[in-house]
Amino acid sequence: MSGLTPVRLIDATVRGAAGNQSASVPLPLDIDQKDEAQIMDMEISLDEVCRIVVRAREYDAQVPGTDPDDGSNASDDDSIDVLDDEANSSVEEEIATAIADLSEDEQAELYALMAIGRGDYEASEWEDAKEAITESGTDIVDELMETPMLASLLEAGLAAFGLSCDDVGSVS
């Protein structure tokens, strides 16, 4: 484990540029819950989850196209078009493909991480979260792609188990 303190998420309303939005706020777990929360066996690799997190963060940052001077010089408009939804649909396709390429079990685990990060389940309910999504027959790819703040929820789910993407992909 990376030495991070596992957390419990509580629902809160966050005021942002887009208005009020629901979000989950991490709070440290009680000492006796740490051992229970860290018991998890994942088939999906941490590297794969973190790759999806990075791309999902890019996807979450995209906004609907609003630049009236769409054909202008990129340096003149501070390259704002790169955040336009229409300008970079490949990010959405890349995330959807990455999730679709996972095995059914790995998709269920990714969804379970998101659900734990959202506060639908406790970390100790890992198996229940995986089982619920598997039995529901829900299209996991569509469900995850339609989830607001997917990257943050996945990171919160990882944090509930003491895991993080902080050191993944970095050279020591």
The overall average pLDDT reported for the chain is 75
pLDDT for 25-34, tens place per residue?
444 444 344 4
- The predicted pLDDT at position 23 comes to 46
Question: What span, in angstroms and rounded, lies between the C-alpha atoms of 135 and 138?
Answer: 8
End-to-end distance of the chain based on CA atoms, in angstroms? Answer: 17
What does the pLDDT average to over 140-150?
A: 94
What does the pLDDT average to over 37-56?
A: 84
Residue 167 has pLDDT above 70, yes or no: yes
- The predicted pLDDT at position 12 comes to 43
Residue the block writes with tokens 């009020």? 20
Strand pairing class (19-28; 7-16): antiparallel
- The predicted pLDDT at position 159 comes to 95
- The predicted pLDDT at position 77 comes to 58
39-48, 56-65, 133-142 — most confident range: 133-142
**Tokens standing for residue 87:** 């300008």
- The larger pLDDT score, comparing residue 36 to residue 96, is at 96
pLDDT for 71-108, tens place per residue?
555 565 555 555 555 545 688 899 999 999 999 999 99
